[in-house]
Structure 1
Amino acid sequence: MSAHPLHDVSPVVVRFSETLFLRWTGAAYLVGFLLVFAALWRQATRGHGPFQKREVPELVLYAGLFGVMLGGRLGYVLLHQWEDFSQDLTLFFQFRQGGASMLGALLGVLVFAVYFARQHQRPWLQVTDALVVFAPLGFFLGHLALFTEGMPLGQVTSAPWGFVFPSEVGMPDFQPVVTPSFDVTALAHAPGHELALLARTNEAFLAELYRILPARHPVLLYQAVLEGAVLGAILLAVRFGWRSRPEGMLSGVFFVLLGGLRFLGLPFHAPRPDLSFGAGFEQSALAPVLLVALGAAFVLSASASRAREDARPSAVKLEGHAAD
């Protein structure tokens, strides 16, 4: 039997009834929003942040609801379920099915930042700079929550931290390592945690899973570390270590680093030939390139803005000398 651990985490935190339950993904949203609210409220109370106390509830509620949740959902149905969504627009409202797009959530937050800035008459780059600092927290919690779903799968590995994912058996293109002793088609689309639960109560089935399944990289744990812990630490270092930075620079650094760190994780992902064009784009190398390009645009714009501000005093001085 393999020495690698079996992925047997249930995606459900608590089940209230057969149809009412809380998943880890939902809990991640809730905890993330509460932590961001607490941090911004604390900053506003001490007068350190860019927002007033009365603005914080609106900012967190609508950025989370319209930016992250609705933006992420819309991006998912457009990129991952376009064929079904084009025939049934109500698919967007089927939140219980799950599914969120990172690109959609980021775009949703940017659109909300523009709206919030106009409503409160403040520079929108000031809003984005304040929000991107908390994005790694969302990535960290989100990737950990998605890890409970057992998808996506990573490349096959012999590393001791690899996992055996029972959810692989239920995939349409499942390719066992050796010929199974049972009909795997009977388990098509079977949830991984249910297979793991069965394996824990049936030693023969557990041994068979270890025989036909390879160990794979836990790519979502890698992303939680890279896009959560590493990205968050760097952004905090830039925020507190470069206080004279121009507005928009922190947003630029965020997108550049996010694209670079996401690119580092791509080689560990198993290829998914069954993905749609949109879903394939989001999980390909093109998405990190797009993020880096967006970040570079923020950086160049912020640098140009700072250069114009630095040139203004010189012009005023020249005018003063000319008057003398």
Structure 2
Amino acid sequence: MQAMIEFPDISPEIFTLPLFGMEFALRWYALAYIVGILVAWRISLAALRRPALWRAQIPPMTARQLEDLLTWIVLGIILGGRLGFVLFYQPGYYLQNPLEILRIWQGGMSFHGGFLGVVIATLVYCARHRIPILSAGDTIVLGAPVGLLLGRIANFINAELWGRPTDLPWGVAFPGAAAQACGQPLGEICARHPSQLYEAALEGALLLAVLLWLAFRRGALHVPGRIFGVFLAGYGAARVIVEHFRQADAQFITPDNPLGHVLRLGDWGLSMGQLLSLPMLLVGLALIVAANRLARA
């Protein structure tokens, strides 16, 4: 019998409160967003309060400006994340059902859309307050992997975004008809890669450790753009790797395209996640190279 891990019985809802004839639930996914943003803010604030970490010992913004920017960032995450999901993953469905776009509580957020939303919000805010954009980017992304870590754990608890079928001993038997539709013989249980946890480890825990080490131990914040570049390249590389183990979204899978590639090059192909992450990887590497040249100048 194939070795596998039984999916833990954890409710996606932490608690539910009946109020005015309706039920309001706090879900792990919402809590992940809240805690992730707050912890990331505290990490960035800790860096700003240590002038020695910055070029010429001058932090790029004040603590008050960071708090103001946080509001813009939250709006960028929510609006960008939702619109990114609509445009990148299910444009046809939402074109036919435009009112569904507003139902964020039903799920459907894109990291890449949220990231673009944060970039736009930050560019506008920094232009209005004359804050150096690269150092602002370094400040913001320093704690961002915390949110990625918690968000991917929440995806696992929700039993969503699971991986491809596997016979490895740490494969997880996710619940639900879709997760169990692996083409296996009738009566057998399908185990899948826990790709959410792979992402939590790579783009969350590992990337966070690298950024904190570079910023607080190696003086990376002295060179504007270096931390931002490492974040972009690190996330892009992690996502490209994990997409090899992650099940593609159902709308991209067809009988002649079982891996759900949106760009096909002969026997090779790229998933939507890889297609959106490769530019991040390339821009991140370019920023790292430019930052290193600046450091040597």
Pair in the same fold by TM > 0.5: yes
- The structure whose residues are more often helix, as a share, is 1
- The alpha-carbon distance between structure 1 residues 170 and 289, as it changes in their structure 2 partners (threshold 3 A), is closer
Contact 2:221/2:227 (CA < 8 Å) preserved in 1?
A: no
Does 2:35 align with 1:31?
yes
**2:71 matched to which residue of 1?**
61
- State the alpha-carbon separation in 2 of the partners of residues 111 and 253 from structure 1: 20
The structure with more radius of gyration: 1
Letter of the 1:61 counterpart: T
Q: How many angstroms does 1:123 deviate by?
A: 0.9
- State the alpha-carbon separation in 1 of the partners of residues 171 and 129 from structure 2: 49
Letter of the 2:174 counterpart: F
Coordinate RMSD, CA, aligned: 2.8
**2:109 matched to which residue of 1?**
100
- The structure whose residues are more often strand, as a share, is 2
**1:12 matched to which residue of 2?**
13
Question: Aligned residue pairs: how many?
Answer: 274
SS at match of 2:131: coil
1:1-324 counterparts in 2 under 5 A?
4-7=4-7, 8-17=9-18, 19-44=23-48, 50-64=60-74, 66-167=75-176, 169-170=177-178, 174-179=181-186, 211-240=187-216, 241-243=218-220, 245-272=222-249, 274-275=251-252, 280=262, 283-302=272-291, 310=297
- State the alpha-carbon separation in 1 of the partners of residues 25 and 287 from structure 2: 41
SS at match of 1:160: coil
Unmatched 5+ residue regions in structure 1? Answer: 180-210, 311-324
Q: How many angstroms does 1:118 deviate by?
A: 1.1
- State the alpha-carbon separation in 2 of the partners of residues 242 and 42 from structure 1: 14
- The alpha-carbon distance between structure 1 residues 69 and 273, as it changes in their structure 2 partners (threshold 3 A), is closer
- State the alpha-carbon separation in 2 of the partners of residues 295 and 45 from structure 1: 26
Letter of the 2:84 counterpart: G
Letter of the 2:69 counterpart: L
**2:257 matched to which residue of 1?**
none
SS at match of 1:228: helix
SS at match of 2:146: helix
Contact 2:3/2:168 (CA < 8 Å) preserved in 1?
A: no
Q: How many angstroms does 1:229 deviate by?
A: 0.8
- State the alpha-carbon separation in 2 of the partners of residues 174 and 3 from structure 1: 18
- State the alpha-carbon separation in 1 of the partners of residues 169 and 291 from structure 2: 45
Contact 2:29/2:151 (CA < 8 Å) preserved in 1?
A: yes
SS at match of 1:212: coil
- State the alpha-carbon separation in 2 of the partners of residues 244 and 107 from structure 1: 22
Letter of the 1:15 counterpart: T
Unmatched 5+ residue regions in structure 2? Answer: 53-58, 255-259, 263-269
- State the alpha-carbon separation in 2 of the partners of residues 161 and 248 from structure 1: 38
- State the alpha-carbon separation in 2 of the partners of residues 74 and 143 from structure 1: 20
- State the alpha-carbon separation in 2 of the partners of residues 120 and 158 from structure 1: 54
SS at match of 1:33: helix
TM-score where L is the length of structure 1: 0.75
